[in-house]
Amino acid sequence: DTAVYVEESGTSMAAPHVSGAVAALLSVRREFIGSPEEVKRILVDSATSLRRRPEFQGGGLLDLMRALQSV
């Protein structure tokens, strides 16, 4: 009956976080619905770099508040 948490990484772990961030962004800024490339640009441009290679960090650390403030 003890909760067990497992730390995972990779795209399969990032996908639900990014999907949730996209849903949150689109719920506030509905004008971006139907513009997936623009949404991607906003999220990538507002991400925090982890100062690692792109193939390791992707676009960086997602920052939804910064993304919302940038548009």
The rounded Cα 48 to chain-centroid distance in angstroms is: 10
Q: What pLDDT was estimated at residue 21?
A: 96
d(CA 56, CA 61): 11
For residues 13 and 40, give the distance between their C-alpha atoms in angstroms, rounded to a whole number: 18
Give the separation between CA 37 and CA 1, rounded to whole angstroms.
44
- pLDDT tens, 10-47? 777 888 889 999 999 999 999 999 999 999 999 999 99
pTM for the model stands at 0.79
d(Cα 44, Cα 67) in Å, to the nearest integer? 9
pLDDT, position 55: 83
